[in-house]
Amino acid sequence: MKRPLLVGIFLTILSATELSAIATAQEALLFKETWKYPPYTPPLTDENRRATQDAITNPKLELKLYGTEARNVDVADHEHRMDLWSGVVNSPLAIALRDKTSFADLTGLARLRATVRTMSLHVLYPMVRLADGSYLAGSRAINTEGDFLQVEVAFTGLRWFKLDPIKVKTTVEVKSPDLTKVDEVGFVDLAPGSGHGISGAFNLSTVELFAKAVAR
């Protein structure tokens, strides 16, 4: 049974000053990605819906997949939204997006917003690739207990750990990394997927990054 996306609706009356404050409480939208099936010949199978660059809807973005089995990430359709699914990826996995024209400044009011689902004790963490080529995972854990939820990551106040992009494992803590020029932004799951059905896995649906653009 499909479970509904949980949302909250709040109704209040705000002054023009309050509305302006809300509007400036985050950076402008740098990019958004909603995913699509790559071209395929029916029927739809695990093999012909693998996530490649053809799964990207935004022409300014590049898809980056990390992990020894990352080639097995699938594109799926849940709750009338497209997403990337890790169930048949038998290794830890990181999924990131790269803006072809700009670095992202993730300091200050920058936010990463995404609709995600984690299942069976799987947990997501924010991950970045810095301009110097180093990979880091942040300490803010995301666990949605099997529901599709919209989550938002603020980058201030996180602890950061070096991330091996091949084995997708964390090592030493990195103090005060330079987040003013970030090359890629995404999420990492440090556990392998465990197959079809209600299993250990995650889904990554719509992704939005609110951040200052820094020219490459």
pLDDT digits (tens, 9 = 90+) for 168-200: 999 999 999 999 999 999 999 999 999 887 789
19 has a pLDDT exceeding 60: no
Q: Say how far apart CA 125 and CA 119 lie, in whole Å.
A: 14
Average pLDDT, the chain: 91
Residue 24 has what pLDDT? 55
Statement: 16-215 belongs to CATH 2.40.170.20? no
User: At 95, is the secondary structure helix, strand, or coil?
Assistant: strand
pLDDT for 133-174, tens place per residue? Answer: 999 999 999 999 999 999 999 999 999 999 999 999 999 999
Residue 177 has what pLDDT? 98
Residue 195 has what pLDDT? 86
What integer is the mean pLDDT of 124-130? Answer: 98
Tell me the DSSP string of 144-213: -TTS-EEEEEE-TT--EEEEETTTTEEEEEESS---SSEEEEEEEESS----SSS-SEEEEEEEEEE-EE
Q: What is the dihedral of CA 109, 114, 120, 123, to 10 degrees?
A: -30
pTM of the model: 0.88
Q: Say how far apart CA 46 and CA 102 lie, in whole Å.
A: 33
Helix H or strand E encompassing 53: none
pLDDT, greater one: 45 or 19: 45
Of 46, 86, 52, 91, which is closest to residue 68 (Cα–Cα)? 91
What integer is the mean pLDDT of 124-138? Answer: 98
pLDDT, greater one: 209 or 3: 209
Residue 198 has what pLDDT? 73
User: At 71, is the secondary structure helix, strand, or coil?
Assistant: helix
pLDDT for 46-96, tens place per residue? Answer: 899 999 999 999 999 999 999 999 999 999 999 999 999 999 999 999 999
Residue 181 has what pLDDT? 98
97 has a pLDDT exceeding 70: yes
Q: Which residue has the tokens 């999924």?
A: 95
Q: What are the extents of the domains in the chain?
A: 16-215
8 has a pLDDT exceeding 70: no
What integer is the mean pLDDT of 3-14? Answer: 43
Of 203, 54, 31, 189, which is closest to residue 123 (Cα–Cα)? 189
